[in-house]
Amino acid sequence: MKSTHTKRAYKYRFYPTDAQAADLSRTFGCVRKVFNMALAARTEAWTLRRERITYNATSAILTAWKRTEELAYLNEVSSVPLQQTLRHLQAAFTNFFSKRAKYPRFKSRKKSKKSAEYTASAFRFRHGELTLAKMVEPLEIVWSRPLPDGAQPSSVTVSQDAAGRWFVSLLVEDLDVKHLGDAETAIGIDAGLDHLLTLSTGEKITNPRHERKDRARLMKAQRELSRKAKGNGANRAKACRRVARIHARISDRRRDHLHKITTRLVRDNQTIVIEDLSVRNLLKNGKLARAISDAAWSDFRNMLEYKAQWYGREVVAVDRWFPSSKLCSKCGMLRGTMPLHVRTWTCRGCGTGHDRDENAAKNILAAGLAVSVCGAGVRPQRSTPGGRSATKQEALRREL
């Protein structure tokens, strides 16, 4: 097995003391302040003078800010997270100019993620204890899984979610990640809502519908929140945390379920073929947006792709307009319109009976293998006797 030098982040929950929580909250505020001020400075320089300010320039400006009486409180926290947020801003502008992202936005005190990144010079990690700069005591971390043997974190990111939980993420070089031996199996996957996934082998993975199970509790908590007066009141803050805890419970269970599925698929198959779904467009369907969000197809694909890269597997995505449900996997005849309520159908050409989802998974597998072998594109077929080509709108609605 081939070993790879892979950077992996190990995330753990920790419980800070009152003093540590106050220090970290102050750091989050300073990080947000520096980011917003640097973004405003860069925007103003370009708008007024058509001048591009680089990271080095904003770093010099930060030094000047610290010397002013108004911003002297920036010296009370570690300088490393402040420098790191300037690097994050530089990366955001790089992505913007490369047309990979939109223009950077200001961080909101209430809505933005609370986090701070520390590089190796700003923390001490010895004998399983992590101590951050400006702190005396180490963090009380719950080591839910061990770090790789001999691993030394290159950076540490501390964060607090909307539910009030504290997390620390340690970025380490994991030498234990090895390419798995070549497998002879390939599998096609059709994503859906009645069943989360249907495999070309005929296996159907149930959709747990985590959000639906907690919907009553969530609605009750949201109603209580709506009754609280808007502002900075303690009662409204408590109601917000109750809603956030329910959302966190839903997302944690969903993520755990997807991790188990994707790990099994990657370990058991050399090639995994999926559809190139445009989830953002599918979410515009008002009736199904909640169910599609709960299915988390985008998270499923992301997990598959990075795990396949770790373990030497291949993920192939076929064209989103490929009519996999309407195409007979036996003879290749393309059927005409197929309403959503039709879950089984019989091919007019060869008389083969098909389960809609299983047939789609088989067609996705065949199309993906063609792409993998010869690099051919996967396009909707033209009309065939007894059928017509699928329109884009029909293809978009196919699995809803």
Catalytic residues: 190, 275, 357
Place of tokens 């076929």: 318
User: What's the CA gap between 70 and 77, in Å, rounded?
Assistant: 15
Q: How crowded is residue 109: how many other Cβ atoms within 10 Å of its Cβ? A: 11
Can you tell me whether residue 65 is helix, strand or coil? helix
Backbone angles phi, psi at 35, to 5 degrees: -60, -50
User: What's the CA gap between 172 and 150, in Å, rounded?
Assistant: 10
Q: What percent of the residues of the chain are helix, what percent strand, and what percent coil, each to the nearest 5?
A: 45, 20, 40
User: What's the CA gap between 225 and 237, in Å, rounded?
Assistant: 9
User: What's the CA gap between 299 and 259, in Å, rounded?
Assistant: 10
User: What's the CA gap between 283 and 274, in Å, rounded?
Assistant: 19
The enclosing H or E element of 12 equals strand 6-14
User: What's the CA gap between 162 and 151, in Å, rounded?
Assistant: 30
Backbone angles phi, psi at 168, to 5 degrees: -130, 130
User: What's the CA gap between 54 and 382, in Å, rounded?
Assistant: 52
Instruction: Determine how β-strand 195-199 pairs with β-strand 186-191.
Output: antiparallel
The enclosing H or E element of 94 equals helix 79-97
Cβ neighbors of 61 (< 8 A, separation 6 or more) are 38, 41, 53
Hey, what are 34's tokens? 């520096």
Can you tell me whether residue 190 is helix, strand or coil? strand
Strand partners, 314: 271
Hey, what are 58's tokens? 């904003």
Among 167, 162, 249, 152, smallest CA distance to 210 is for: 249
